[in-house]
Structure 1
Amino acid sequence: MNWRVQFAPEALDQLQSIEKRIANAGAPMTAERYVNSIVDFCMKLQTFPARGVARDDLLPGLRVTHFRKRTIIAYTMEKEVVSIVGIFYGGQDYEAALTLDEDQ
């Protein structure tokens, strides 16, 4: 079964921020390739979305997985849809960010 992958607006904003951060460090081509690789990785969740670690303690149904040791991808799975809810780069405190989102 293939799932559909969708990105929350916040996740898209986070991808843009990651690209800007890397580009501003002097590597615009690397930034673009890195972000494209993240998107490709997320799209592969279509075939095996349960690969991440369950984090129901943060949000019901939340799963997280790592990408290249520096990026955490947070997502939910429901009704054959994988929703990318956050992409956290370089040690960002994803637990606090997702807990704040839930409280709002």
Structure 2
Amino acid sequence: MPQALTTVLTLACFSLAACATPPAQEWRLLVKLTEPSTDTLSIERRASETARSPVRYVASTSPQWHALALSCADSAACEQAVERLRADTSAYASVSLDRRRRVVTP
């Protein structure tokens, strides 16, 4: 088989394999801080460090209650990250999954 054809087929296989990997999961969380804060970057950074997974700040309902989005490879990784957040009682009085129903607009 010619070298160029082998290279093309190899690249095609890698491309298909990349498409076959499951996308990262995103879990919405509601957290209650032990100390009220409005510093969104600080809240996001602390949550990311504690969870050891990327966390995106979403919104707040008060200086103590904040919505965060946790990104993980799979459900097991998200569950472990949530447990790490719950274990950090110096920063979080409460960590729960946001189970509110979202309306998706087209």
Q: What TM-score does the superposition give when structure 1 sets the normalisation length? A: 0.26
Q: What TM-score does the superposition give when structure 2 sets the normalisation length? A: 0.25
Please identify which structure carries the higher helix content: 1
Largest Rg, 1 or 2: 2
